[in-house]
Structure 1
Amino acid sequence: MGAVGLDDREQTIRTGYEKHVPALLAYVRRQVGGDQHKAEDIVQETLLRCWSKFDGDNHTMLRPWLFKVARNLVIDGYRRGGARPKEVDGTGWLEQEPAELDHIENILSSVVVSEALKALSPAHREAIYLTYFLGKTIEEASDALGIPPGTIKSRLFYGMRSLKLALQERGAGSPTAPAPASAAR
């Protein structure tokens, strides 16, 4: 492609493109916070408008006209972004906090867990209650019950396994209880 067969208007636009577009692209890139792709889109739209609307009679007005159109497109894009909902890129759900269970759901869950706890032996129920519900450490539960810490650990292990089975029998799945206080130490 050469300049052969171009009229004066097309030649002015081509010369203006070669002369002004690098500066225009740098200007728009600064306006959009360094986003190269967005800047290229705005410059392309500016050039399309130039091609269809610019009166090529005044060569000295091309540069100011290009910069004014590009500036207006940046402003329009900014305003449009504020008026529209935020675009979703597919990862927004990772940032959302899970919905809190309502009061009735908490009550129903506690009833199911209470019933499942009744299915455990008193020794297992006692160890789970002291550590998981009262937040005592293994050593504190050991002192309270007067039995060795290893026995508390064993009762917790087998008690939680039995509790999981009891919950599954009731259709509630496995419990998501926190670890006993001493497990974090």
Structure 2
Amino acid sequence: MDDDEERLTALYDLHAGVLRRYVTHLTGDGAGADDIVQETLLRAWRTPRILAQEPATTRAWMITVARHIVIDEVRSARHRHEHPVAELPERAGDDETDRLFDALLIEDALAGLDDGHRSVIVAAYYRGRSTAQVAAELGIPEGTVKSRMHYGLRALRLALQERGVTR
């Protein structure tokens, strides 16, 4: 095996599994996910500066690229299947694609947190509970709720950054 082939194999071994799971989660299509993973790895291979970075940085870049490819695929499929109609619809709806992918990305990042941090964040942000209500609901002191919230949000921020979400 030559050097290029070894580097490509190493790139695939390091990142393909994670990319495939992520894209399958986004699309629900395992066969389509393989195509997107292949395209993502090809783009990484064609960008030497990406390959020279730390594996975590390379993975974050590839997750962002894969997400953009998925978005492009969704948008192009929608465009190809448009049919002309005699009358315009009364009101055009907003494109919810970005919101949907953001929600999936956050869900995936939350799943990577430990149960204590995740339960506090979900109770406070998704259920609208106050610190006292979260403490009572989970049977833990308010100080623990605040601490878990602080460290949980920090871990969530890092998880999102690893997935290519930047401030």
TMscore range, shorter length: 0.3 to 0.5
Larger radius of gyration: 1
Q: Which is bigger in relative contact order (C-alpha 8 A, separation at least 6)? A: 2
TM-score relative to the length of structure 1: 0.39
TM-score relative to the length of structure 2: 0.43
Q: Larger helix proportion, structure 1 or 2?
A: 2
